[in-house]
Structure 1
Amino acid sequence: MVFPRWIRALRAVGLSLALGASLLGGTAHAQGSSPVRILVGFPPGGGTDAIARLLGEKLKDQLGQNVVVDNKAGAGGQIAAQALKAAAPDGHTFFISHDHTISILPLVTRNPGFDPARDFVPVAGFATFVNAFAVSGGTPARSMSEYITWVRQHGGKGNVGVPAPASVPEFLVKLIGQKYGLDLAAAPYRGSAPMMADMLGNQIGAGVGSIPDFIENHKAGKIRVVAVMGSQRQAAVPEAPTFAELGLAGFEDVPYYGFFAPAGTPQAAVDRFSAALQKVLAEPEVRQQLTGLGLTVGFMPQQQLASRERAYSATWARLIRNLGFQPQ
């Protein structure tokens, strides 16, 4: 029987809707009822955001759920940390963070609005990285010694961008100033992305941030990394000496990256996310991409991440006290 055109059209639409419903039903079943949310404490475009989006895309496949990156920028990750504290401990919310928010903020802020030991549970770590000192393209210096000479030629004063106030980069600026007798002033930003924008626009002569923040523009020749933290030079920027090589000791312990969940999150949910992350990190492509961003990739199970965080906090508590910094 030959049906009128309008009936054939309706049948085609019905078939398409039925097929779509079938596919959506299958997807919903595979991905679970709610997406996994990864909180990021810095704006889109920065190093942490790029890492979160890379891992989130891969975790989606391992978890069988949609993964959403939720940027809650501001106060050096403090806003995102407070959001984690307020989140339901149901295994659907995780916080990707490096050392600053978890280890440093509680040392430099009188009331950060969260206590990592009480309000969070470590899930797993996935990398370490180093902070670096970089000069802007408009600065003639091509090494740390040349930068020091350049600052002295300008009255010994210089502004150095840092991605957050009262952070390791800010303390590093203070120590460099003390070491070389310079009047360096840390200029805090709300994340690495706006700091990088000003460095690229030559609005500021130098900046301190993580290798992931700098690596792309360093490779493009738009900025120059001239010194790095850590006990050895970094594969991503092998030409840059360590601060220890330059005579500035005390920066050998490197920061970490890890995932955290709200306190009370079921251990089964923690273990599930941790296992998925471990599988993602085993993928050569992922390791290569993270290494290209300046990370040293290495899976850290829950207890290892917890131990590293405690040790890192203790190290910086001593350094901050020695600088005479008072929590604000």
Structure 2
Amino acid sequence: MMDRRQFVQTAAAFGALAALPLALRAQAFDAPKIVNGFPAGGTADATARRVGEHMGGTAYAKGAAVVENKPGAGGRIACEVVKASKADGSTLLLTPYSMMSIYPHIYARLSYDPFKDFLPVSIAAVMTHALAVGPMVPASVKTVKDYLAWAKANPGQANYGSPAAGSTPHFLGALLGLNTGVDLKHVPYRGSLPAVADMIGGTLASTSTPTGDALANHKAGKIRILATSGAQRTPFTPDVATYAEQGFPELTTEEWFGFYAPAGTPANVIANANAAINQALKDKSVIDSLALMGLVAQGSTPAAMDKSQRDEHTRWGPLVKKIGFTAES
């Protein structure tokens, strides 16, 4: 039986625990899982792995996170996997905002609700998108207007690949064609890298892709990046003019990769995961490795990420309507 002294000590211990911030009381996972919807080697995979490697030794994770690639269905398979995961924070989703902010406008029967089935944890990295051309396009084509003139003169070859139907790069290419009256045929892929490979191989004229997925081959002279989508030139391609600089300001956009947890995940676990992600993003090795992929490491609070997602959802609604694309089209 507990005596008075023991009772007082036990009560004091519980009181001290209750006084601790919730973020300090959640049990750390041995090795949490990060699911992303694109193939190994691309920008999404790199972001998940670089951040995941540095999550260990925190209140969220004892060791590094395990990354699981679930490519297919334009990133939706990964969303479905995490939606169905246990809502304890042991499994996170890493995805571009396309799957959360744009897909609701194009899928009448989307298998998940971005606003009800997931909780934002943190933005991880920000990227621009690039228009790149391969050896099918003559070396004399050096600008977006050059490319449009070539595409108009060669309608049978005027195509562009993107990492997924309904993704931001897909719609940037669609808007470029729509706004200029040039018929650019879209070819969807399961991730950017297969599209870039086909472009290098000469079976695809161009790609609209995350800048990082074209960067190495651009620097190697195998392909040419004609434009990037940021408000300013990227530090990775300072010699390449933006769409806006070339007369296409409506194509100015930046996209982020963000971490999500299944709805119902406890707030203290979200706080721990957010802290671990933001700590990883301050590591110089993470910053440098993401830069090699054309990514700028950038964390956020869950609230800021939620606001950005909602803002992008509002912004893309009328653009998707203008393009006229749906999952059934």
| TM range, smaller chain | 0.7 to 0.9
Map of 2:53 onto structure 1: 57
Map of 1:73 onto structure 2: 71
Map of 1:286 onto structure 2: 286
Aligned residues between the structures:
298
CA gap of 1:138–1:196, structure 2 versus 1, over 3 A, is: same
Are residue 121 (structure 1) and residue 127 (structure 2) matched? no
Are residue 110 (structure 1) and residue 104 (structure 2) matched? no
Map of 1:320 onto structure 2: 320
Distance across 1 between alignment mates of 2:180 and 2:314: 26
Task: Give the C-alpha shift of residue 210 in structure 1.
Answer: 0.6
Give CA deviations for 1:77-117 in whole Å, capped at 9, x if unaligned: 10000111100011100001111111111211111210011
Query: Secondary structure at the residue paired with 1:104?
Result: helix
Query: Secondary structure at the residue paired with 1:313?
Result: helix
CA gap of 1:317–1:33, structure 2 versus 1, over 3 A, is: closer
TM-score of the pair, normalised by structure 2: 0.85
Task: Give the C-alpha shift of residue 142 in structure 1.
Answer: 2.9
Map of 2:261 onto structure 1: 261
Counterpart contact for 2:218–2:224, Cα < 8 Å? yes
Distance across 2 between alignment mates of 1:51 and 1:220: 23
Distance across 2 between alignment mates of 1:190 and 1:33: 31
Task: Give the C-alpha shift of residue 32 in structure 1.
Answer: 6.2
Are residue 98 (structure 1) and residue 91 (structure 2) matched? no
Task: Give the C-alpha shift of residue 41 in structure 1.
Answer: 0.4
Map of 2:305 onto structure 1: 305
Counterpart contact for 2:125–2:257, Cα < 8 Å? yes
Give CA deviations for 1:124-181 in whole Å, capped at 9, x if unaligned: 1122211110111342223323322322332475010111012222222222112333
Map of 2:83 onto structure 1: 85
Distance across 1 between alignment mates of 2:51 and 2:77: 22
Listed as ranges, the matches of 1:128-139 within 5 Å are 128-139=126-137
Counterpart contact for 1:157–1:182, Cα < 8 Å? no
Give CA deviations for 1:281-319 in whole Å, capped at 9, x if unaligned: 111221122123212222211100000110011110121
Counterpart contact for 1:32–1:65, Cα < 8 Å? no
Distance across 2 between alignment mates of 1:105 and 1:248: 24
Listed as ranges, the matches of 1:146-165 within 5 Å are 146-155=146-155, 158-165=158-165
Name the aligned partner's letter for residue 287 of structure 2. R
Counterpart contact for 2:211–2:294, Cα < 8 Å? yes
Map of 1:38 onto structure 2: 34
Counterpart contact for 1:163–1:189, Cα < 8 Å? yes
TM-score of the pair, normalised by structure 1: 0.86
Give CA deviations for 1:225-253 in whole Å, capped at 9, x if unaligned: 11111211111111221111222222334
Task: Give the C-alpha shift of residue 265 in structure 1.
Answer: 0.6
CA gap of 1:95–1:285, structure 2 versus 1, over 3 A, is: same
Ranges of 4+ aligned residues in structure 1 off by more than 6 Å: none
CA gap of 1:157–1:184, structure 2 versus 1, over 3 A, is: farther
CA gap of 1:37–1:306, structure 2 versus 1, over 3 A, is: same
Counterpart contact for 2:231–2:252, Cα < 8 Å? yes
Map of 1:19 onto structure 2: none
Distance across 2 between alignment mates of 1:33 and 1:324: 45
Listed as ranges, the matches of 1:129-278 within 5 Å are 129-140=127-138, 141-155=141-155, 158-278=158-278
Distance across 2 between alignment mates of 1:298 and 1:171: 24
Provide the aligned C-alpha RMSD in A. Answer: 1.8
Distance across 2 between alignment mates of 1:35 and 1:142: 47
CA gap of 1:269–1:153, structure 2 versus 1, over 3 A, is: same
- Note the residue ranges of structure 1 that are not aligned, 5 or more in a row: 1-30
- Note the residue ranges of structure 2 that are not aligned, 5 or more in a row: 1-26
Counterpart contact for 1:156–1:183, Cα < 8 Å? no
Q: Structure 1 or 2: larger helix share? A: 1
Name the aligned partner's letter for residue 236 of structure 1. F
Distance across 2 between alignment mates of 1:182 and 1:198: 22
Query: Secondary structure at the residue paired with 1:118?
Result: coil
Deviates more, 1:308-317 or 1:318-327: 318-327
Distance across 1 between alignment mates of 2:195 and 2:47: 18
Distance across 1 between alignment mates of 2:201 and 2:289: 27
Query: Secondary structure at the residue paired with 2:212?
Result: helix
Name the aligned partner's letter for residue 89 of structure 1. A
Name the larger-Rg structure.
1
Deviates more, 1:92-101 or 1:137-146: 137-146
Counterpart contact for 1:158–1:205, Cα < 8 Å? yes
